[in-house]
């Protein structure tokens, strides 16, 4: 298998693999290459997230941007995607270079953001916050 493999799955880049390894070392629960349906008016759009990092009180979308994300067309597409997702999720973006340089530092930033985002989850069937099981 190639060097872009994590847990038997071929990922987009070495940066994705290194960040998955760092998140695992931090003890964080995460999913990678996640397909989601995002409500958008009358329809929903399918999007693929690089990483979805979860705690009992927070969910964070993490995107790793390679050099192609610097091009105007791709950057505009990323902006529109982030705007659509922002109604439902917080997104953090990191450059591929930053992840390769120090994946542990990126994982620590993600952990810190999750701690800051400890808003109560709400059940769609109740006005009361969902209390995570202890």
- Whole-prediction pTM: 0.76
Determine the Cα–Cα distance for residues 90 and 116; give it in Å rounded to an integer. Answer: 12
pLDDT (tens digit per residue) in 4-60: 888 888 887 899 999 999 999 999 999 998 998 888 766 678 888 999 999 988 899
At residue 129, the pLDDT reads: 56
Question: 48-65, pLDDT tens digit by residue?
Answer: 899 999 998 889 999 998
Tell the CATH superfamily of the 5-116 domain: VSR Endonuclease (3.40.960.10)
Domain ranges for the chain = 5-116
Q: Which of 112, 100, 120, 121 is nearest to 26 (CA)?
A: 112
């Amino acid at each position: 298998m190639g060097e872009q493999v994590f847990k038997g799955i071929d990922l987009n880049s070495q940066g994705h693999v290194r960040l998955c390894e760092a998140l695992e070392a931090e003890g964080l629960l995460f999913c990678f290459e996640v397909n989601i349906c995002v409500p958008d008016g009358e329809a929903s759009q399918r999007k693929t997230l690089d990483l979805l990092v979860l705690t009992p009180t927070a969910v964070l979308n993490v995107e790793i941007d390679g050099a192609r994300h610097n091009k105007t067309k791709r950057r505009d597409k990323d902006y529109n995607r982030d705007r659509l997702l922002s109604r439902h999720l917080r997104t953090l973006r990191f450059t591929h270079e930053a992840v390769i340089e120090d994946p542990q530092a990126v994982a620590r930033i993600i952990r810190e953001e999750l701690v800051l985002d400890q808003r109560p989850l709400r059940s769609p069937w109740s006005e009361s916050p969902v209390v995570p099981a202890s």
